[in-house]
């Protein structure tokens, strides 16, 4: 894990639009780890937003400015790491970085320049909770699953609406025949004019999955854009990085988007597979303690049900026992009859 004294380096990169997906996940984990990190993030954002009101663009290397700042503060700052080993040290650290952040912003402002040729600002958003909805510049709506990253310009250009995705998201695209809506999903593009569909860039074995609910979606490999597969409602396309091939199927696992629809359908399905779907849908940690019950089968449909209600049905139907152990939910019981 990165040293805590670099936390504000990450924030500078984040708010200036230069964060990598790894940086953003690290910031997210730190915010969850401590209320102090969360407060520091909020304070920094408020300070940063003051600079945004001027509508000017920074051309500063944040790492360079941070080093300059440390040199101005004194040589002791550059030769010692700030260790957080106690509550006292934590308070001292956050007091320091809060002041330092303001100084860094002043240093940034002293180097900014006006430009008319700069490309449009880019927004990067990462979902920390399930079903996080975001409205895009064109009025389209994207719902993101946990730890999903999207990247898009503040204003789409005149010819297309391009958005980059890492993770799982459900799109409700506003129709616009003159501007195709294109999802950059790693090795493939998904292109539409107006529709509702699901994209997952982190499928099993690294697969990229596209499931269409309404309308049509063209899916194609970036290296072979002329070889498009048209996916219609109730169908899905799967790109395999191993085979470097896109396949089409009319057999769709509706549970893939249960985190969005809150509808789970199980037909003669094993408990082990059911638990896997529940963990994904409810973002929880359920574990089967007795391997002998992992193969117990269930046929059931759960629509807009709380996790507790689903687990109660599992207990009543399969004769298993559900136990809460801290953050983990354990399922135990005897072998299936």
In the CATH scheme, what architecture does the domain 122-253 have?
Answer: Sandwich (2.60)
Q: Which of 10-19, 88-97, 124-133, 142-151 has the highest mean pLDDT?
A: 142-151
List C-alpha distances in Å: 126 to 42, 140, 144, 256, 262. 16, 17, 8, 20, 21
Q: Which of 126, 186, 179, 190 is nearest to 155 (CA)?
A: 179
pLDDT value at 196 more than 80: yes
Residue partners of 319: CB distance under 8 A and separation at least 6:
333, 334
Which sign, positive or negative, has the C-alpha torsion 34, 98, 28, 131?
A: positive
pLDDT of residue 187: 94
Distance CA 46, CA 31 (A): 16
Q: Residue 301 above 70 pLDDT? A: yes
Those residues whose C-beta lies under 8 Å from the C-beta of residue 166, and which sit 6 or more positions away, are 21, 148, 149, 150, 186, 201, 202
The pLDDT assigned to 119 comes to 47
Q: Show the beta-strand stretches assigned E in 68-127.
A: 122-126
Rounded distance, CA 237 to CA 201, Å? 12
> Of 29-43, 121-135, 183-197, 243-257, which gets the smallest average pLDDT?
29-43
Least confident of 5-14, 22-31, 116-125, 313-322: 116-125
Architecture of the domain made up of 262-332: 3-Layer(bab) Sandwich (3.55)
CB 190 within 8 Å of CB 235 = no
Top-confidence range, 12-21, 22-31, 75-84, 183-192: 183-192
Q: Which residue did the predictor score with more confidence, 330 or 158?
A: 330
Residue 50 has pLDDT above 60, yes or no: no
Q: Give the residue range(s) of CATH 2.60.120.1440 domains in the chain.
A: 122-253
In the chain, which ranges are E strands?
122-126, 132-135, 141-144, 149-153, 161-166, 168-172, 181-185, 188-192, 196-200, 208-214, 217-221, 229-231, 236-240, 245-249, 263-270, 286-288, 297-303, 321-325, 328-332
The burial class, CB within 10 Å (0-12 / 13-18 / 19+), for 313 is middle
Using the 8-state DSSP alphabet, how is residue 131 labeled? T
State the pLDDT confidence band at 327, using cuts at 50, 70 and 90: confident
Query: Among 108-117, 147-156, 176-185, 232-241, whose mean pLDDT is lowest?
Result: 108-117
Q: What is the dihedral of CA 288, 294, 300, 301, to 10 degrees?
A: 50
What is the average per-residue pLDDT within 226-235? 91
> pLDDT at position 335, please?
77
Is the pTM higher than 0.85? The answer reads: no
Work out the average pLDDT over 14-22.
69
- Give the model's confidence band at 254: pLDDT under 50 very low, under 70 low, under 90 confident, else very high: confident
CB 129 within 8 A of CB 139: no
- Over residues 74-114, the pLDDT tens digits come to 443 333 333 334 444 445 545 555 555 554 454 444 333 33
| Number of residues in the chain | 337
pLDDT for res 69:
44
Average pLDDT, the chain: 78
The answer on pLDDT for 24 being more than 90 is no
The contacts of residue 226 (CB under 8 Å, 6+ apart) are 220
Read off the pLDDT of each residue in 243-265 and give the average, rounded to a whole number.
87
Residue 110 contacts residue 141 (beta carbons within 8 Å):
no
Rounded distance, CA 195 to CA 280, Å? 25
| Sign of torsion over alpha carbons 133, 135, 136, 139 | positive
**pLDDT higher at 125 or 93:** 125
- Give pLDDT, residue 117: 34
């Amino acid at each position: 894990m990165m040293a805590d004294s670099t936390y504000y380096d990450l924030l500078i990169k984040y708010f200036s639009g230069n964060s990598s997906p790894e940086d953003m996940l690290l910031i997210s984990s730190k915010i969850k780890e401590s209320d102090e990190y969360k407060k520091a993030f909020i304070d920094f954002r408020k300070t940063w937003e003051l600079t945004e009101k001027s509508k000017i663009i920074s051309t500063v290397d944040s790492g360079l400015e941070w080093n300059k700042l440390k040199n101005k503060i004194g040589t002791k700052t550059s030769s010692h790491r700030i260790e957080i080993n106690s509550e006292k040290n934590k308070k001292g650290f956050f007091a320091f970085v809060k002041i330092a952040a303001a100084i860094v912003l002043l240093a940034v402002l002293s180097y900014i320049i006006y430009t008319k040729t700069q490309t449009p600002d880019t927004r990067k958003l990462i979902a920390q909770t399930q079903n996080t909805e975001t409205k895009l510049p064109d009025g389209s709506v994207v719902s993101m699953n946990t730890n999903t990253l999207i990247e898009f310009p503040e204003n789409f250009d005149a010819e297309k609406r391009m958005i980059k995705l890492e993770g799982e998201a459900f799109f409700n695209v506003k129709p616009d025949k003159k501007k195709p809506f294109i999802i950059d999903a790693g090795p493939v593009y998904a292109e539409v004019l107006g529709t509702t569909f699901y994209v997952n860039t982190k499928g099993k074995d690294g697969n990229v999955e596209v499931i269409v609910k309404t309308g049509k979606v063209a899916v194609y490999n970036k290296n072979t854009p002329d070889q498009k597969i048209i996916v219609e409602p109730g169908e899905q396309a799967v790109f395999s990085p191993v085979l470097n091939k896109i396949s089409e199927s009319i057999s769709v696992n509706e549970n893939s988007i249960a985190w969005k629809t809150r509808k789970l359908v199980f037909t003669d399905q094993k408990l082990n597979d059911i638990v896997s779907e529940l963990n994904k849908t409810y973002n929880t940690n359920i574990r089967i303690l007795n391997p002998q019950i992992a193969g117990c089968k269930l046929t059931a449909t759960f629509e807009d049900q709380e996790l507790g209600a689903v687990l109660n049905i599992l207990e009543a139907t399969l004769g298993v026992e559900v136990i809460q152990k801290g953050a983990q939910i354990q399922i135990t019981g005897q072998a299936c009859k």
